[in-house]
Amino acid sequence: MVNKLNQDLISSLIANNSKVLDIGCGNGDLLLHLEKTKNINGQGIEISPKGVQESVSKGLSVIQGDADIDLINFPNNAFDIVILSHTLQATHKPKEVLTEMLRIGKKCIISIPNFGYWKYRFQMLFLGIMPITKTLSEPWYSTPNIHLCTIKDFINLCEILNISINGAFRNTTYSIKKINKPNRYINNLLSIEGIFVLSNNIK
């Protein structure tokens, strides 16, 4: 359900026939979905050999690469859309990755697992353990997620980096809601995921 909502929203934000880069494309499900629904010209980067193999076996164009290292190779405005779906939290340098993706994509779509979600807070506060849920399923010692943040944190980072957010959404696990007032406490508490649309100002 969470994934389906995320896919549908991202798809609705993309124009037909766009040139799309999906950074951290996993097994390529999102790219495949976008190829089918939006006839995109898709390209993926994925760090795990298994993910690359699965993606390429589906007929997708995917390279084995690392968001922290390989984005610098792409030229400015190389893609209409750059997607970073549930990947930012696994990068070593989230700030640099964000800046790079804004350089190479005319429009960027970022989704992050929201660490401010009440279930995570509950587990920390009452159980005293690092949260484990369906979305963040790995225990602390083996998780690739080294830079987790909340919806509020992300909005703050955009302010620091002078990035204007053109659209913000939250996933309540039942539906996607538009975030109209970024500072509302409830956005952070009741959403498992935040999805943001950013665009660059590179001519």
Partner 1 sequence: MGPNKILDTNKYFIICSNVLGGCMGTTGPSSINEQKNVQYAMNFPVFTIKDMVNLQLALIDNLEIEQLFSVIGGSLGGMQVLEWAASYPEKIYSAIPIATSYRHSAQNIAFHEVGRQAIMNDPNWQLGNYYNEKQKPRHGLSVARMIAHITYLSEGAFQKKFGRDMQSKVLSWGFDADFQVESYLRHQGTSFVDRFDANSYLYITRAMDYFDLTGPYNGELSSAFKNTKCKFLIISFTSDWLFPSSESLAIVKALNKTAADISFIEVNSDKGHDSFLLEVTDFYQILTGFISGAARKKGL
Binding site for partner 1 (CB under 8 A): 19, 41, 43, 49, 52-53, 56-65, 70, 73-75, 78-79
Which of 96, 97, 72, 65 is CA-nearest to residue 83? Answer: 97
Name the DSSP class of 73: G
Beta carbons within 8 Å of 147's beta carbon, 6+ residues apart = 88, 89, 90, 91, 92, 94
- The least distance separating partner 1 from the CB of residue 107, rounded to whole angstroms, comes to 15
Write down how long the chain is.
203
Using the minimum distance from each CB to partner 1, give the nearer residue, 50 or 134. Answer: 50
| Cα Rg, the chain, nearest whole Å | 16
| Tokens 């935040």 sit on residue | 194
Nearer Cβ to partner 1 (53/199): 53
Q: Between 63 and 127, whose beta carbon lies closer to partner 1?
A: 63
Q: How far is the CB of 53 from partner 1 (least distance, A)?
A: 6
Q: Which is nearer to partner 1, 39 or 156 (CB)?
A: 39
Q: Using alpha carbons, select from 177, 125, 181, 182 the residue that is nearest to residue 150.
A: 182
Task: Give me the least distance between CB of 56 and partner 1, in Å please.
Answer: 5
C-alpha distance from residue 104 to each of 72, 132, 169, 172 (Å):
9, 34, 23, 30
> Measured in whole angstroms, how far is the alpha carbon of residue 158 from the centre of its chain?
14
Q: Are 169 and 193 in contact (CB under 8 A)?
A: no
Judged by beta carbon, residue 38 or residue 170, the one nearer partner 1 is 38
| Nearer of residues 77 and 133 to partner 1, judged by Cβ | 77
Provide, rounded to whole angstroms, the least separation between the CB of residue 25 and partner 1: 11
Least distance in angstroms from the C-beta of 48 to partner 1? 11
Min dist CB 37 to partner 1, Å, is: 15
